[in-house]
Amino acid sequence: MTNISLNSIIIFFHKIRKDLFSNVFNTFMSLVLILSISLVFLNTFEWLIFDANWKVVGSNLHLFAFGSFPSDEQWRPAIWIISLLGISIVTLFGPKWKWLRQNLLIAWISTIPLGLYLLYGGFGLTPIMSRHWGGLTLTILLTTFSSLLSLPLGIVLALCRNGSLPLIKKLSSVYIDVMRAIPLISVLFFGQLLIPLFLPVGIEIDRVWRAIFAFTLFVSAYIAEDIRGGLQSIPKTQIDAANSLGLNQYQIIQLILIPQALRIALPALTNQSIGLFQNTSLMAILGLVELLGVGRSILANPEFIGQYIEVYVWLACVYWLVCTIMAILARHLEQRITINSGNF
């Protein structure tokens, strides 16, 4: 084992020398590049450790996490975020007990009503209005519920656009093309400012749910195209085989088309989810104090004026961490689906 490791190291360094230092020009360019990266890294490290003032982050961690949620009730969103993180860890590194793996989907789904109960309150908890929600809690809420509603709507749109009924096919095509041609910020403005104008007098939809509705309308169009690509990659022979077995159209869609289309489109769907999480930052422009909105409000505090770099570096790290967790979970799910498909 030691000899194999030593040989691998020797081969690795020999390959580096061959690729980077094969002639005078490559050697010069490699040394310049290495020196530049080293200087950037050292200057960044020096600023992070010695020059940056992280008090703006440390003294406002509760705002970044929970927004203006009442301080004596912040344990409620904290429990919800910890439950999401715990289920993520169990999904990735938990024991491979069969009963646990079978109930992971139920655990993930149960976090949705749990989050609503903890945030809204009632049934023994103090009711909290959504205007007090904010920070990472609100960002995760917008992402989770928008994704939950966008996926089934996107599947329906993809099936309609891929169907044989001319009118439904045309309507779904027009909807998808129109939504993909409109900037997201315009759809969000529509959700926040114009939807209340179309509602009857006395009926009002919460601003958070208007944002979720707008995100759902927008993202579902992109998900529909991802699913449609998955549907088109399924061989027609499978449908012919299903017809020969006597399956009806509903059974073909439920048992053959949708599972395979979702598996094929999973990388693209993951990209949509990550993009949705990042795009929730646009709500800071429209008055919802999500993660970026909290950063903007903190920078408006005279005590922290001018500390833009620290705040935005911190926000970038938070966004990177959450997006990385989402990508790893999706990759883990993709691997499990591939293994199960291979076993089948």
Residue whose pair of structure tokens reads 């309150």 in the numeric block = 121
Q: Is 66 in contact with 137 (CB distance < 8 Å)?
A: yes
Residue whose pair of structure tokens reads 């050292």 in the numeric block = 42
Residue whose pair of structure tokens reads 């927004």 in the numeric block = 67
Residue whose pair of structure tokens reads 């646009």 in the numeric block = 282
Chain-centroid distance, C-alpha 96: 26
Measured CA to CA, the distance from residue 158 to residue 173 in angstroms comes to 9
pTM, full prediction: 0.84
Domain boundaries, the chain: 2-39, 56-343
Q: Which residues pair with 135 in a beta bridge?
A: 290
Measured CA to CA, the distance from residue 83 to residue 118 in angstroms comes to 12
Architecture of the 56-343 domain: Orthogonal Bundle (1.10)
The pLDDT of residue 87:
87
Q: Is 87 in contact with 104 (CB distance < 8 Å)?
A: yes
Chain-centroid distance, C-alpha 245: 39
pLDDT at 340 over 90: no
Structure tokens at 166: 């001319």
Higher-confidence residue of 263 and 203: namely: 263
Using DSSP, state whether 122 is helix, strand or coil.
strand
The pLDDT of residue 344:
42
The pLDDT of residue 277:
94
Instruction: Give tens-digit pLDDT for 32-58.
Output: 888 888 888 888 888 788 778 888 888
Secondary structure letter of residue 201 according to DSSP: T
Higher-confidence residue of 303 and 9: namely: 303
Question: Using N-to-C axis directions, what is the helix angle for 207-232 and 135-161, rounded to 10°?
Answer: 40
Measured CA to CA, the distance from residue 118 to residue 132 in angstroms comes to 13
Structure tokens at 5: 């490791």
**pLDDT interval class at 20 (50, 70, 90):** low
Measured CA to CA, the distance from residue 199 to residue 210 in angstroms comes to 12
> How large is the greatest C-alpha to C-alpha distance in the chain, in angstroms?
80
Phi/psi of residue 290, nearest 5 degrees: -80, -155
Measured CA to CA, the distance from residue 308 to residue 306 in angstroms comes to 6
The pLDDT of residue 1:
46
Chain-centroid distance, C-alpha 340: 25
Q: What is the DSSP string of 10-32?
A: HHHHHHHHHHHSSSHHHHHHHHH
The pLDDT of residue 29:
76
